[in-house]
């Protein structure tokens, strides 16, 4: 492996982080808050670390698959470490463990927080916190590949590693155009939501930061009560719409708007995703009506927002779902496990794999009746090969196994069962809030330090879809050529 090439590409990623740190420091300077120097110093340090490999390592026309995997994982880890700097320099509640937790939660678009008082943070630091969502939402590597023209050839390998295999299926373009499509949709949705939230009464700063968090399906808010702070139905409706859009494969959104394609309406995954969300909202509404809310409209309002927020892995809140009845809480857990579609910014197992699981079950039932039959599994117009089907089902099993093991560790550390299980589900799915003491109106500050490190591990495993990070950590990965 050519480690110098790996360092060069990680350096480019660090320069991207340094740029956003510098923008955050400008905002802090204009506002005259105490985060100016921590952000400025952080941008300089991260920028120097990013520029150093570019000076001494020449560009390479191509990279190997192993190098691509190393670049992607190392870029995520380096970005998360870089993200801790302004938090540590600012101080407050941020020791190193807490800063690492907040940084990883931001970049992986999880949205879980250790902060007991978010509103005490200076404006510049709040912007940086939201920016980590926006950088990580589309994928750190995808963001860089889309804006750096010199990385065309290498981009094929890097994007192959960064994009989930099931996310690539709906792109019918070459690698470069695919990346530009992702970025156009991402930026376009962010601008549209910012304008919409501003028109609904948010100030421009809150509109931008909440748009960053929504389109990245992240969930970091600038307010302690999240979206409940605004107590505004129009704001909630706008956010619901953009959360739903951000959970759909970006390639389908682009082809529908710019190419006149109707694939988005025909996609069985999109139809299942929307049907599942609507069904969850209806069931939760009736479960909350009279038991939790005496008014049917209020039951619908809070059910629609919370289920959409969890079901897209965004994690915003307009109510405390940890005090909801059992059925509503079970639905919250289900949607925190499943989340939205591949090719979006959503986390979780993905609706695509649930569709594949259902198709696999149907196929197996048919084979039991007709053992010699040749049965093909189709999703839309594509035949899904048996090995891909098996990989999808295997990933689901590995994912649930990871949740189970991490829950055991948290319980062993003294965290109660509900908070442990829901917290692990929420962090692995990059959802944010869980139930119990880590609910939508609570935080993760009380979790033991070792527990916070375990949860940041599940965030990264969930964001990188497990296998890449596990392979990176294996000694054999570094021994082979």
DSSP 55-123: HHS---S---HHHHHHHHHHHHHHHHHHHHHHHHHH-TT--HHHHHHHHHHHHTT------S-GGGS-H
And the tokens for 24? 């955050």
Name the residue among 401, 410, 455 with its Cα closest to residue 112: 455
Q: Are 252 and 267 in contact (CB under 8 A)?
A: yes
Does residue 421 surpass a pLDDT of 90? yes
Report, as an integer, the average pLDDT of 288-298.
90
CB-side neighbour CA atoms (13 Å) of 87: 26
Domain assignment of residue 95, yes or no: yes
**Nearest-5° Cα angle at 409, 406 to 414:** 130
Average pLDDT over residues 393-409: 95
Instruction: Report d(CA 133, CA 144) in Å as an integer.
Output: 15
Residue 281 covered by a domain? no
Give pLDDT, residue 229. 96
Range(s) of the domain holding residue 60: 1-162
Q: What mean pLDDT, rounded, does the chain reach?
A: 89
Is residue 20 a part of any domain in this protein?
Answer: yes
Highest mean pLDDT among 4-13, 210-219, 369-378: 210-219
Q: For residue 164, what pLDDT is reported?
A: 55
| 471 DSSP 8-state letter | H
Which pLDDT value is given to residue 171? Answer: 47
Tokens for 130, please give them: 């939201």
* pLDDT over 70 (residue 147): no
Helices (H) and strands (E) in the chain, counts: 21, 2
The whole-number average pLDDT for the span 319-347 is 93
pLDDT at 184: 85
Lowest-pLDDT range, 121-125, 136-140, 396-400, 451-455? Answer: 136-140
d(CA 198, CA 207): 6
Would you state the pLDDT for residue 194? 97
Per-residue pLDDT reduced to its tens digit, 294-317: 899 999 999 999 999 999 999 999
Do 1 and 67 touch, CB atoms closer than 8 A?
A: yes
Q: Residue 80: inside a domain, yes or no?
A: yes
Q: How far is Cα 232 from Cα 229, in angstroms, rounded to an integer?
A: 9
Identify the pLDDT of residue 155: 47
Listed residue (214, 172, 171) closest to 343, CA to CA? 171
158-167, 198-207, 281-290, 393-402: lowest mean pLDDT where?
Answer: 158-167
State percent of the chain over pLDDT 70. 91
Dig out the tokens for 338 from the structure.
Answer: 């499943």
pLDDT at 410: 97
Residue 429 belongs to some domain of the structure: no
Over 70: is that where the pLDDT of 142 sits?
no
Per-residue pLDDT tens digits for 65-85: 787 788 888 999 999 999 999
Q: Which of 128, 112, 106, 140 is nearest to 42 (CA)?
A: 128
pLDDT digits (tens, 9 = 90+) for 20-34: 999 999 999 999 999
Whether 207 is in a domain gets the answer: no
DSSP state of 384: E
Q: Does 294 reside within a domain?
A: no
| Residue tagged 């105490």 (tokens) | 34
For the record, the structure tokens of 128 come out as 């940086």
pLDDT at position 156, please? 47
Distance from C-alpha of 306 to C-alpha of 376, rounded to nearest angstrom: 37
> How many domains does one find in the chain?
1
The packing angle between helices 417-428 and 386-412, to 10°, is 140
DSSP letter at 261 equals -
Give the separation between CA 394 and CA 391, rounded to whole angstroms.
5
Kindly state the tokens that stand for 271.
């139809």
More confident residue, 415 or 464: 415
Q: Beta 377-379 vs 382-384: how paired, if at all?
A: antiparallel
Supply the pTM of this predicted model: 0.93
Structure tokens of 203?
């100030």
User: pLDDT value at position 69?
Assistant: 81
The three-state DSSP-derived secondary structure of 305-332 is: HHHHHHHCCCCCCCCCHHHCCHHHHHHH
- C-beta separation of 28 from 73 below 8 A: no
Which H/E stretch holds residue 190?
helix 175-199
Per-residue pLDDT at 5: 81
More confident residue, 400 or 466: 400
Taking the alpha carbons at both ends of the chain, their separation in whole angstroms is: 6
45-to-22, 90, 399 alpha-carbon distances in Å: 11, 15, 37
Calpha distance 219→313 (Å, rounded): 8
Where do we find the tokens 């250790």? Answer: 114
Percent of the chain topping pLDDT 90: 64
Q: What is the pLDDT of residues 219-265, one digit of tens each?
A: 999 999 999 999 999 999 999 999 999 999 888 888 888 877 788 88
pLDDT tens digit sequence for 160-210: 555 555 555 554 545 566 777 778 889 999 999 999 999 999 999 999 999
Confirm whether 38 is domain-assigned: yes
Task: Calculate the CA 319 to chain-centre distance.
Answer: 21
Residue with tokens 């937790």: 101
pLDDT > 70? residue 480 = no
Residue 119 near residue 222, CB atoms below 8 Å: yes
Q: Cα 212 to chain center, whole Å?
A: 12
Does position 159 have pLDDT exceeding 50, yes or no?
no
pLDDT at 61: 60
């Amino acid at each position: 492996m050519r480690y110098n090439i790996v360092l060069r590409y990680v350096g480019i990623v660090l320069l991207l982080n340094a740029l956003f740190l510098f923008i955050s420091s400008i905002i802090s300077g204009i506002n005259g808050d105490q985060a100016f120097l921590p952000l400025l110093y952080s941008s300089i340090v991260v920028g120097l670390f990013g520029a150093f490999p570019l000076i001494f390592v020449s560009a390479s026309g191509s990279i190997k698959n192993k190098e691509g995997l190393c670049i992607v994982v190392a870029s995520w880890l380096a970005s998360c470490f870089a993200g801790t700097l302004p938090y540590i320099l600012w101080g407050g509640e941020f020791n190193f463990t807490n800063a690492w937790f907040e940084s990883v939660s931001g970049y992986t678009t999880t949205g879980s927080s250790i902060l007991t008082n978010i509103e005490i943070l200076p404006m510049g630091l709040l912007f940086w916190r939201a920016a980590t969502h926006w950088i990580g939402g589309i994928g750190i590597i995808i963001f860089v590949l889309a804006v750096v023209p010199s990385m065309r050839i290498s981009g094929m390998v890097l994007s192959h590693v960064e994009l989930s295999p099931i996310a690539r299926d709906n792109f019918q373009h070459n690698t470069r155009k695919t990346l530009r499509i992702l970025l156009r949709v991402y930026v376009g949705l962010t601008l549209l939501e910012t304008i919409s939230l501003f028109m609904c009464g948010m100030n421009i700063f809150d509109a931008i930061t909440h748009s960053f968090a929504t389109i990245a399906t992240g969930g970091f808010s600038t307010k302690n009560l999240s979206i409940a702070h605004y107590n505004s139905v129009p704001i909630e409706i706008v956010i619901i719409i953009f959360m739903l859009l951000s959970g759909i494969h970006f390639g389908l959104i682009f082809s529908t708007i710019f190419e006149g394609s109707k694939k988005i309406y025909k996609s069985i995954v999109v139809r299942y995703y929307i049907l599942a969300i609507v069904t969850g909202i209806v069931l939760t509404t009736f479960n909350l009506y009279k038991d939790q809310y005496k008014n049917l409209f209020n039951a619908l309002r809070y059910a629609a927002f919370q289920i959409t927020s969890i079901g897209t892995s965004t994690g915003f809140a307009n109510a405390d779902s940890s005090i909801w009845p059992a059925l509503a809480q079970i639905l919250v857990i289900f949607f925190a496990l499943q989340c939205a579609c591949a090719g979006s910014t959503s986390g979780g197992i993905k609706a695509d794999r649930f569709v594949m699981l259902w198709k696999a079950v149907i196929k197996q039932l048919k084979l039991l009746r007709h053992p010699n039959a040749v049965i093909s599994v189709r999703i839309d117009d594509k035949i899904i090969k048996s090995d891909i089907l098996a990989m999808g089902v295997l990933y689901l099993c590995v994912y649930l196994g990871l949740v189970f093991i991490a829950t055991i560790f948290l319980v062993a550390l003294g965290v109660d069962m509900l908070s442990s299980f829901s917290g692990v589900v929420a962090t692995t799915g990059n959802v944010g809030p869980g139930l119990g003491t880590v609910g939508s109106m609570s935080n993760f500050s009380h979790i033991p330090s070792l527990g916070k490190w375990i949860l940041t591990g599940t965030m990264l495993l969930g964001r990188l879809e497990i296998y890449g990070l596990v392979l990176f950590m294996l000694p054999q990965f570094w021994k082979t050529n």
